Amino acid sequence: MKLVYTNQNLAQVGLIQSYLAEHDIASEMRNQHASSVMGEVAFFSVWPECWVADEDATPAKILIDDLNNTPTTTEEWICGTCQETSPANFAVCWSCQTPYTLVKT
């Protein structure tokens, strides 16, 4: 198993875990209950972590990097697949789940 993502926010790690599952990459969350020892040990050593099988580490890191580098907008945008309008804060189309592209209204 290899560590592919860590964050102080448990929900953020859960979102990454769900995103990987959508791409057929199984993962395991570790340290999800470790916040109770924060202050006793270095804070970053108890952050929630997302681990994947060794063979899935490279594709998982690519997916996570792509997700973290998704362009953002302050305007509504039109999906290039289904032509539905999504709010600016949506990274994927609300209707068909296509990732945000630079096509805007």
Count of structural domains, the chain: 2
Question: Do residues 89 and 60 share a domain?
Answer: no
Query: What are the pLDDT tens digits along the chain (105 aa)?
Result: 999 999 988 999 999 999 999 999 999 999 887 766 666 666 667 889 999 999 999 999 999 998 887 666 788 889 888 999 999 888 888 999 888 765 544
Question: Do residues 45 and 84 share a domain?
Answer: no
Which residues pair with residue 83 across a beta bridge? none
Range of the domain at 10: 2-68
Whole-number Å distance between alpha carbons of 34 and 97: 33
Q: Domain of 45: which CATH number?
A: 3.30.70
